[in-house]
Amino acid sequence: MKPIRVLIVDDSATMRRLIRSILEADQRLEIVGEAGTAREARDAVNLYRPDVMTLDVEMPSMSGLEFLQRLMRHRPMPVVMVSTLTRRGSDVAIEAMSIGAVDCVEKPKLGGGLDGFSKLADTVAAAARARVNDPRRAGEISVSRSNRNYRRICLIGGSTGAVDAIERILKTFPADCPPTLITQHMPAPFLVSFAARLNPLVQPHVGLARDGMPLRPGQVMIAPGGDYHLNITGRTDLRVNLYKGPPVSGHRPSVDSMFLSAVKHAPRMVAGILTGMGSDGAAGMKALREAGAKTLGQSKETCVVYGMPRVAGEMGGVEAWADLDKFGETLLHLCETPVKAQVT
């Protein structure tokens, strides 16, 4: 198998050397070039024809965001944004993923540990295989009608490529949507920026989940990440449980953790699994479906990375499939389906 051709773009020569040393240690990857400015990056793309690019969020003369917009217009390709965990860096990273970047990772640090290095290499390798979506080609998004009889709670899990998918789904949700919990794989500062970006763009209220919050219509609660998983607790009056624990299925926050916490209330649940690499969420979705939940997977044709939905489907956890442009309305429809009485 041919190695994946990588272009590194960062204004810091020190950071370029560090990223190169990390990626060169992975036999799947080949560094074909480096660039320190947007102009150099443009020329390097034309010269080396890389499979994937790592791009610094903050660049001189032309920001990484502006360069990304031009790149996606003229030569769409997989891009992994490399960002600091500052609020500004996180805000720009989330904006970048909404306009076409496949994923965003924290800038590596000397002495930062092997886990961070492995995450960078795995993300770049996965991004090279990703389907690059051009936001300009996305169809019209219309908000679903209000005053529907929702009977169920909506759970959504995603990873690589799901930032844009979640935004598009929530733009279809009315202000009185069913209670919705979302687990997205990202560092905590990125999740703060993600929730802040979404809230003014959609009809329901979007925010980071807080421990003990009741699950109410019109509320979309996003896992805050860090040391915590977003789980569900309670018997009839369900609430958020921010569970402090180790990674589950290799992730924190974990989709499997959220799904599995809801199994005892499965007949009241609708679970959707979106684009992402790996298998997080597959076991939990299977358990939910077997216990009476409605489950929905994002179609292969509309996934950026067809990993999590594929594994969930192979395990028997996916009851129905939907393209991204129909995913939100399908979730809402499933939330209207009657709930079978639970035996207690």
Tell me which residue of 38, 42, 56, 45 sits closest to 5, measured CA to CA. Answer: 45
Average pLDDT, the chain: 93
Taking residues 88-100, what's their average pLDDT?
90
Contact 220/196 with Cβ under 8 angstroms? no
**pLDDT value, residue 292:** 98
Provide DSSP, 120-155: HHHHHHHHHTSPPP-GGGPPP--PPPSS----SEEE
Residues 141/166, Cβ–Cβ less than 8 Å: no
CB 121 within 8 A of CB 29: yes
pLDDT of res. 60 = 77
pLDDT of 309 above 70: yes
Q: Which residue has the tokens 């080949």?
A: 30
What is the percent of the chain with per-residue pLDDT over 70, rounded to a whole number?
94
Instruction: Quote the pLDDT of residue 87.
Output: 78
Q: What structural domains does the chain harbor?
A: 4-135 (3.40.50.2300), 143-336 (3.40.50.180)
Contact (CB, 8 A) for 5 and 97: no
Catalytic residue ranges: 159, 185, 280
